[in-house]
Amino acid sequence: MSRRSRGASGSWRSVAAVAGWQTAASLCYYSIFAATGFVREAFDLSATLVGVFLTAALLGYTVALFPSGAAVDALGEKRVMVAGLVALSVAALCVSVAPSYALLLLAGTLLGSAYSTAMPGSNRGIVASAPAGRENLAMGVKQVGVTAGSGAASLVVTGVAAVAAWQAGFWVVAALAGGYALGFVALYDGTEGSGRLAWPDLSGLGANRPYVLLVVAGLFVGATIFTTLGYVVLYVEDVVGGSVAAGGVVLALAQVTGSVGRVAAGGLADRLGGARGAATVALVQVGVAAGLFVLLARGTASLAVASLLFAGVGVSVLGSTGVFYSCLSDLVRAEDIGAATAGGQTAINVGGLAAPPLFGLLADGVGYAAGWWLLAGCSVAATLLLVAVRRDLRGPGTRV
């Protein structure tokens, strides 16, 4: 597949269609993060077991990534994205009707598996559709779909719960995503795949040092992102003294500022140019996040201060994924985007698999401050790795 494959219009209309799909998909998946307070109460869970639930969803997401990436490369992104969004709608409904904690874990795993179609499919669509010279901005716009979907999930789930059962919020989410799946069929043409469904060949990617460094950095970035999203609501409730609804608003605020960060970072990376420019912007964002986590570790009893700090986390680390994927996409051949994205997202997810339960153990046993120090350390590690990526990109092109 070339960078501008047949079927992709190379216009902002195609970018908008893919960004809308990403929003709908994230609306489904991130609904579970907004529901942590309700799930804890409904199933009488500790903070650690809430983290296990989030990890189950992320495990399903991670295990299915490489098969989804292979399907995208073989079949083209459109068919995989439509099927994935339908599956997400069904899985969201399953979460809402789970009668026991064990079945809740299974439903969460299914939800994560369906979401595995998101990054390989949408990244391939953006690479093919972005107007020339605006690739970083287009990726940032698409990644706004993650924060917009997550923020909308926070408002929908907590808002509907205020007037009805919390499960009804998941029904609304499923209906919205299912409706967009129908519209996406008409809005987006898609690109052709290779027609050969096979396990990705990772040998070439493994020989690309900047790509490998970026993937390892993604592990630490994922640890900070997924843990922050999973514990904002509980932190506001347990430490700041706010309600679950207030926690949902703070989470939504972080997602809104994350959206701003992704667009601004993409525009700045386009000005700096290429993979090195994207890596430069990402390392600054993650470095700023390290400082914000230190401030959270020092403690705050004010809802206003907590909101400000989490808004900063949104602009920084939550806003870094657009340039992360732009850098990754620029390091590999276009026909390897699905596999390369699966590798990068797997690393992000592995960080997210390990960190939330550990954060929960620290919060239950020592206090939330210890958990925020953990995320500060992860942010520092990611920053150092991104410095190494940027250094390696001083020379000639590294695309494999």
Domain count, the chain: 1
Percent of the chain with pLDDT over 90: 37
The confidence band for 1, taking pLDDT boundaries of 50, 70 and 90, is very low
Span 221-267, pLDDT tens digits: 999 998 998 888 888 888 888 887 888 888 888 888 988 898 888 88
pLDDT computed for residue 292 by the predictor: 95
- Could you list the residue range(s) of the whole structural domain that residue 284 is in? 12-190+201-392
Does 398 map to a domain? Answer: no
Q: pTM value?
A: 0.74
Does 277 map to a domain? Answer: yes
Q: 310 or 73: whose pLDDT is higher? A: 310
Does 113 map to a domain? Answer: yes
Q: Is the pLDDT of residue 343 over 90?
A: no
Q: How many CB atoms lie within 10 A of CB 16?
A: 17
Does 388 map to a domain? Answer: yes
**Average pLDDT of span 168-194:** 88
Q: Is the pLDDT of residue 386 over 60?
A: yes
Span 101-148, pLDDT tens digits: 999 999 999 999 999 998 888 988 888 888 877 777 888 888 888 878
Q: What is the CATH number of the domain that holds 167?
A: 1.20.1250.20
Residue type present at position 391: R
Does 321 map to a domain? Answer: yes
Does 222 map to a domain? Answer: yes
**Average pLDDT of span 7-36:** 85
Does 68 map to a domain? Answer: yes
The confidence band for 174, taking pLDDT boundaries of 50, 70 and 90, is very high
pLDDT computed for residue 7 by the predictor: 39
Does 195 map to a domain? Answer: no
Span 71-98, pLDDT tens digits: 888 888 899 999 999 999 999 999 999 9
The confidence band for 9, taking pLDDT boundaries of 50, 70 and 90, is very low
